[in-house]
Amino acid sequence: MSRILLIIFSISIFSSCITPKVYNELLDKHEIAKKNLSKNEKLILNLRETLDANERSINSLMSSIEKLRQDSTTLNNDLLACQNKYDDLSTAYDLLTSKSSRYMAEKAKETKELLEQLEKTQSELFAKEDQLKKSTAVLEEKERKLADSQNELELRSLRVAELEAIINRKDSMVTALKQKISKALIGLEGDGLTIEQRNGKVYISLEEDLLFASGKYEINQSGKQALDKLSDVLSYQKDLEILVEGHTDSIPLSGRGLIKDNWDLSVMRATSVVKRLTSNSNLDPTQLIAAGRSKFVPIMSNSSSEGRNKNRRIEMILSPNLDDLFKLLDE
């Protein structure tokens, strides 16, 4: 600015001694200088404003830089703290990894032992299952056999009940038969005649004197009458088997005719009784059997006369026909 004023002052001094043309040129230059001055002032003003703005920007940047420095310091501190924490965590991690490795090794060992124990237990379980299956099969077989046995037992129980019913019916029949025979032969019982019921059978024993003369096999008249009464009772019993046995004492016979010994005598006497009984046409001959027993089935000792008298006898054994019973047993 001082330079411009100096120029203007110099022009004013020299204008008094210069030509108008030069003066006018100088004035023109002065005007141009003034315009340039004005432009420069505006430019300076703009520059100052720009400078101020730049200063403000610089100050703002400086503040930002300062803040960034502070933030950087804080970040450095945080980074250091994080680094320390990272180091601590890394150390802890390494320790944990080491412990974890040992722990995993121990657990691996425990796991292996547990797996081995599990496999052993599983094998034992499979063995128990196999044993259980076998036991179950055995049990089922036993249960089946038990059921079969129970069924068979029930069938046997039914058969036993049927058998008992048949036996009871036979026993009742035998009891009734004994009573009928006792009634038919009333007056003879106890006088050389005995009638007994044993083992489901009726035993009729007639001593020799009631039927025969000594050493003979022909039936006397009183014997015929007794046998006729007996045959009347037996003719109604179609379900009987009648065994007629001849018995003698032990004294030997010395006959020369038809009867040579006690065997012959016992057989002939039994046969005579059977023939007399079957003279009743209502009595089925197939129900009767004649047998000689000689001296070999005594009921008393032959050492006394009384004993020998008792041993010389005709014995009839009346047995119920047990065909129904045997059929049931065969089923």
In angstroms, the CA 293 to CA 113 distance is: 92
pLDDT digits (tens, 9 = 90+) for 104-114: 777 788 888 88
Task: Please tell me the predicted confidence (pLDDT) of residue 133.
Answer: 87
Residue-wise pLDDT for 3-19, tens only, equals: 555 555 555 555 555 67
Q: What is the pLDDT of residue 17?
A: 59
What CATH topology corresponds to 185-330?
60s Ribosomal Protein L30; Chain: A; (3.30.1330)
Instruction: Give residue limits of the domains in the chain.
Output: 185-330
Give the model's pLDDT for residue 326. Answer: 57
Q: Is the dihedral of CA 257, 260, 266, 267 positive or negative?
A: negative
- CA pair distance 45, 38, nearest whole angstrom: 10
Q: What is the pTM of this model?
A: 0.53
Rounded distance between C-alpha atoms, residue 10 and residue 168, angstroms: 184
Place of tokens 């001593």: 207
- DSSP β-bridge partners for residue 71: none
The one-letter amino acid at 213: A
pLDDT at 9: 58
Q: How many angstroms separate the most distant Cα atoms in the chain?
A: 234
Residue ranges in the chain modelled with pLDDT below 70: 1-18, 65, 75, 79, 163, 188-190, 255, 323-331
Confidence at residue 14, expressed as pLDDT on a 0 to 100 scale: 53
In sequence order, the β-bridge partners of residue 205 are 194, 315
